[in-house]
Amino acid sequence: MFDSLIESTPHHGLTRKTMLMPASLVLHGLALATILLASALQAVPVEPPQLLVEFFSAPPPPPPPAAPAKEARAEPVKPAATKAIPMPAGLVEPMLIPTQVSTAAQPEYEGVPGGVPGGVPGGVVGGVPGGIIGGLPDSPPPPPPPAEKAYRIGGNVKAPELLQRVVPEYPNTARLARIQGVVILEAIIHPDGSVGEIKVLRPLPLGCTEEAIRALQQFRYKPGLMNGAPVSVYLTVSFNFRLAGEAG
């Protein structure tokens, strides 16, 4: 019975599967190396990018403000220096010798008529020694006197009464030129009856107006009254210049 038993012993030979494993690994390694090599050959080298670097600097500070111009001051004008005329040494013979010498007495003082002996150039006629050169500045003229207050005739103002009348002369030039007409004047009669300021309202030429004014200045009046008291009043006076034998 025991002889019929087949003794089974382990098989030590390599199986097909076991033999294919190393070959497969080698093939895969070759394929991977081929792919890597082909990739390395086809890769295009890439140049590194250029970096643009700009440096910015701060703007320069603004210029300082200009210094204000100094006002030009007018320098005083210096008088030109006069050169001294050198005097000749010794005696000099005159160019012309006078034949006659005047023996008339010379005045002790020769200068501006009305001047003061011992005065200085630029002085004022009639000045005094030691005064201000050029004299004192002219003083302004005094203000005119205030206008006299007078009243117009009418109402409680009574007109003055004539006491003395003077007839004006007829100028010969006006008579020869046959000038005729009326000169009308307006005068202020003072409380004492005298004639004050005269204003011409209608003139005549060739001296007629002047003769009328001269005559009116010699008139005398009984003064005008306001409420019984003498006051200055305005009065209009007319002078008629007519040639003899002329109608009018």
Q: Is the dihedral of CA 123, 127, 132, 137 positive or negative?
A: negative
Residue 106 lies in a domain: no
Instruction: Say how many domains are in the chain.
Output: 1
* DSSP state at residue 151: B
Q: What Cα–Cα distance (Å) separates residue 148 from each residue in 105, 145, 160, 224?
A: 60, 8, 17, 15
pLDDT at 142: 76
* Of 163, 173, 164, nearest in space to 208 by CA: 173
How confident is the prediction along the chain (248 residues), in pLDDT tens digits per residue?
444 444 444 454 555 666 677 777 888 888 888 887 776 666 556 565 555 545 455 566 777 777 666 665 666 667 666 666 666 565 556 566 666 666 665 555 556 665 666 666 666 666 666 666 656 666 677 777 676 789 999 999 999 999 999 999 999 999 999 999 999 999 999 999 999 999 999 999 999 999 999 999 999 999 999 999 999 999 999 999 999 876 55
Residue 174 lies in a domain: yes
Pair type for strands 224-226 and 157-158: antiparallel
**Residue 182 belongs to what domain range?**
157-241
Q: pTM for this structure?
A: 0.43
Residue 43 lies in a domain: no
Q: Are 196 and 235 in contact (CB under 8 A)?
A: no
Residue 228 lies in a domain: yes
Residue 144 lies in a domain: no
CATH number at residue 215: 3.30.2420.10
Across the chain, which distance is largest between two alpha carbons, in Å? Answer: 222
Residue 179 lies in a domain: yes
Residue 214 lies in a domain: yes
Residue that has been written with the tokens 């008629």 in this structure: 240
pLDDT at 8: 47
Residue 196 lies in a domain: yes
